[in-house]
């Protein structure tokens, strides 16, 4: 089932009237349904995620390899970039800790900026040019 989007107006819910909404309503006609409501956040797209994992992260592995730094796998490359660029400080009681922020729930603009920073880093410090996203991404 698709996720349906809409707006709250007063005490009513106005669903967007796209194909997915109409199709879901037809498919569930006469049935009892479960509805969950939460604020919609524009998270990164599948296209951006695919570009990141299929092009950017393998580029990190290749650029590091060119400098003699052997990474075990793409997850290690991802963690290296998170530690380099996404550290945030959290407070637990009277102690503070620095941990890398997750990319999984980043908004579209945050994730695009993160990718830009990683791509620029590879260009500036490793002289490695990451291919631009193509139409297939």
Per-residue model confidence (pLDDT) at position 72? 84
C-alpha separations of 7 from 17, 21, 37, 94 in Å: 11, 13, 10, 41
Share of the chain above pLDDT 70, in %: 94
CA end-to-end distance (rounded Å), the chain: 24
DSSP-based three-state secondary structure for 90: strand
Per-residue model confidence (pLDDT) at position 2? 65
CB 55 within 8 A of CB 130: yes
More confident residue, 34 or 2: 34
> pLDDT digits over 30-39, tens only?
999 888 888 7
CA gap 86, 41 in Å, rounded: 20
Cα dihedral sign, 121-124-129-132 = positive
Does pTM surpass 0.85?
A: no
Say yes or no to pLDDT of 119 above 80: yes
């Amino acid at each position: 089932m698709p996720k349906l989007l809409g707006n709250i107006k007063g005490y009513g819910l106005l669903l967007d009237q796209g194909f997915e909404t109409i199709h879901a309503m037809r498919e569930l006609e006469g049935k009892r349904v479960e509805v969950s409501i939460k604020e919609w956040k524009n998270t990164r797209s599948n296209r951006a995620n695919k570009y990141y994992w299929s092009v950017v992260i393998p580029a990190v592995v290749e650029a590091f390899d060119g400098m003699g730094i052997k990474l075990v796998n793409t997850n290690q490359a991802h963690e290296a970039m998170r530690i380099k660029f996404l550290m945030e400080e959290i407070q637990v009681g009277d102690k503070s800790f620095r941990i890398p922020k997750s990319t999984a729930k980043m908004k579209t603009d945050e994730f695009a900026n993160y990718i830009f920073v990683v791509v620029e880093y590879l260009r500036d410090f490793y002289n490695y040019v990451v291919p631009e996203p193509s139409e297939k991404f």
